[in-house]
Amino acid sequence: MSHAHDRVLILDFGSQFTQLIARRIREESVYCEIHSPDKSLKWIKAWNPAAVILSGGPSSVYDEDVPTADIGLLEAGIPILGICYGFHLIAHLEGAEVEQGKREYGRAELQVQVIDGIFKGFHQGKTTTVWCSHGDHVDEPPPGYESLASTDTLRVAAFRAVDRPIYAVQFHPEVAHTDRGDEILSNFLFKVAECRPTWTAGAFIEDTVAQIRQQVGEATVICGLSGGVDSSVAAVLVHRAIGDRLTCIFVDHGLLRKQEREQVELMFRTHHKMKLVVEEASVPFLEDLSGVIDPEEKRRAIGNRFIQVFESTARREGTGATFLVQGTLYPDVIESVSVGGPSVTIKSHHNVGGLPEDVPFELIEPLRELFKDEVRQVGRELGLSEEFVGRHPFPGPGLAIRILGEVTEERLDILREADAIYLEEIRLAGLYDEIWQAFAILLPVQSVGVMGDA
């Protein structure tokens, strides 16, 4: 990522909402990264953040081996926002008494007393709903700080330093349940930290294209194209950087949705003029799946065969490629940076394209800084059709794991047609973009639905 952009550093103390904080900041066109809280003040200064956010977390400041931050950070002149545990940590480090109490979880009505800073634009005398999730509380702000807001159960729900750009809130502005949370974060970014909103899809593409060209030089690159959002956007982005030195390989394993292969060929070969190799391999995949019922065995069989087909196709095409495009996203990168491991347990998707670690390629991961919604934005900026950037997630093993029981060509045909009809009806109703995921499943038994029965 180009250092021309202002950057916000999020220190993750284990909150389930940490990634949501990052997404809210990115939505304001400000770049941010999530890192573990054990970073030294020297490291933080070298990273040169425009602002620092201390996330929430499950700990109490009185727990053993409690995660903390370098106290020098509070004297560094960097704008800081503490959220929930971050609120308690700042109070504790600055000498306030943090009192332990029963956990409070749910909505609360916030009364703002100081209409300034992060509460710019709020109104005295009016309450706003916020979301709380905490056990400890603070009844008096630390020396040199002033209280900004309260609730019925919290004498101090927010405070700030009198002489430094340090703010803290005892609720979660990043969640949808906090009515004006986006406004609070926006005020912190632009009125307190004076960040510049330069992190856009267009700026990302410009930076990434330059980085890819520098990384690749005059070498050639291959990409395993699945037709999904991530691989499609990654492929078009790399193609913009190096043109025909990219070869995309699309393996048709016979487990695709209706007309998916034709859609991929039309989009990438015809519209984007990309070098695309389509490998027909449905016969060996179906042979491997013959008699297999267990879903995990299906995944293993499909994954192993995919590796063989992909590698043999790459060798046959003689691309001489030294680089491989991989659609790594930001959640994959940050899954182990927080306290005691991942703050949000990220389930790895069944990625048929997962190649062995010892493949003789250097990786290109053009999307590793992006969340999924940002990948879609970049795809639109690159000119990919909404049919591709807005499509629902589809597992690498395809329809095989949406068939309960043995996978046969006949059962695939039935499910393929049923899935297409179902999705067509959802689109006709104008609901496709409102639903995160919808699909048909083929059961090995007959079933019946009853309407109106008590």
DSSP string, 316-345: HHT----EEE----HHHHHTT-STTS-SSP
Question: Is 280 tagged catalytic?
Answer: no
Of residues 32, 35, 84, 134, which has the active-site annotation? 84
Angle at 325 between CA 319 and CA 327, to 5 degrees: 155
The Cβ of residue 304 has, within 10 Å, a number of other Cβ atoms equal to: 11
**CB-based contacts of 160, cutoff 8 Å, min separation 6:** 114, 117, 118, 145, 146, 148, 166, 167, 168
* CA 222 to chain CA mean position, Å: 25
Q: How far apart are CA 131 and CA 115, in angstroms?
A: 20
Of residues 172, 239, 253, 350, which has the active-site annotation? 172
Question: Is 84 tagged catalytic?
Answer: yes
CA dihedral 252, 258, 263, 265 (to 10 degrees): 30
Whether the CB-CB separation of 249 and 313 falls below 8 Å is answered with yes
* CB hemisphere CA count around 270 (13 angstroms): 8
* CA 301 to chain CA mean position, Å: 29
Question: Is 174 tagged catalytic?
Answer: yes
* CA 375 to chain CA mean position, Å: 9
φ, ψ of residue 227 to 5 degrees: the values are 95, -5
Whether the CB-CB separation of 395 and 350 falls below 8 Å is answered with yes
Of residues 174, 260, 369, 374, which has the active-site annotation? 174
Q: Which DSSP letter does residue 248 get?
A: E
Q: How far apart are CA 53 and CA 82, in angstroms?
A: 6
Catalytic residue positions, numbered? 84, 172, 174
